Structure 1
């Protein structure tokens, strides 16, 4: 089992391709590409962690649309660390966990990494090599020494 992280997918948001210079002619094309990229790396036994902004815009209020995207996500477990654009419809999806903050054991030393939608200055075990994974800022701030922007706009529409 592997653990994967991705943020700021903004499924269904018509303006995100233009605002974030995503190379798509439509939001449907963007959604298909994001899902395809997830399926390339996230295996059937893996965990997928999303530090916020799963869906946004008018389509994010459409229960059928949001459920349809969620049902296409790969992995055995899907976790949401809530972002500023995660609506009630997104919060009602059958995530394995939902919170504003999470600590996840991962990596070769099984370190306790911190997930939050927003970049932070410090976090639990930051001085002991623990990483912080965040989104929210899209391509405006990539990362620092031990904090990593896992937003799709920084990762080339991929996941880590």
Structure 2
């Protein structure tokens, strides 16, 4: 019996981007090795009925990366990153494509944006914020987390795994209440 569909998150795959190996100290010798590992890890993690929210910076260059997108399992949703051109944003392989999204998962609001934000919709009511862009350079909190491949062993991460990982962390700094 197949398992029920799950919701996964990822960011900053940078398919085809040779310099990201050096910039982010990725453990790959070549861009071909990086791309092959990212595709293999994705497809070993994601089932055909799973939803995957990619929080930006899918690729560097478009033609080769569009072919890679077609090989990835799941229903793929894009939150635009700074490296995602208009062409990338309109590829037919996306189930949805937008700058920002809010989901409701397990009764919690989840705010999705490529960039980390200091305060988000529902911040005062324990909503979560997932982002990319920073390549493991920001400290996660009990409510916010970088979902990029550089943080999660070069593969998408399931919602419940993120929540379990961040639940014991320090809450985000909250500004003083306004009176």
- TM-score when normalising by structure 1: 0.90
| Distance across 2 between alignment mates of 1:135 and 1:44 | 24
Residue 67 of structure 1 corresponds to: 66
Q: Which moved more, 1:5-14 or 1:89-98?
A: 89-98
User: Which ranges of structure 2 fall in alignment gaps of 5 or more residues?
Assistant: 158-179
User: Would you say 1:2 and 2:6 are equivalent positions?
Assistant: yes
| Distance across 1 between alignment mates of 2:139 and 2:58 | 19
Shift of 1:127: 2.3
| Distance across 2 between alignment mates of 1:10 and 1:100 | 18
1:128 to 1:82, Cα distance in 2 relative to 1, 3 A: same
Q: What do residues 47-91 of structure 1 show as CA deviations (whole Å, max 9, x unaligned)? A: 0100000001xxx14x2x12211101110x110000000012211
| Distance across 2 between alignment mates of 1:81 and 1:67 | 16
Q: What do residues 8-41 of structure 1 show as CA deviations (whole Å, max 9, x unaligned)? A: 0000001111111111111011011011111121
> SS of the residue aligned with 1:85?
coil
Match of 1:139 among 136, 139, 144: 136
Match of 1:55 among 55, 59, 77: 59
- TM-score when normalising by structure 2: 0.81
Residue 105 of structure 1 corresponds to: 104
Contact 1:66 1:89 in 2 (8 A): no
Match of 1:27 among 31, 45, 64: 31
> SS of the residue aligned with 1:84?
coil
User: Which ranges of structure 1 fall in alignment gaps of 5 or more residues?
Assistant: none
Query: Larger radius of gyration, structure 1 or 2?
Result: 2
Q: What do residues 126-149 of structure 1 show as CA deviations (whole Å, max 9, x unaligned)? A: 222221100001021141230010
Contact 1:135 1:149 in 2 (8 A): yes
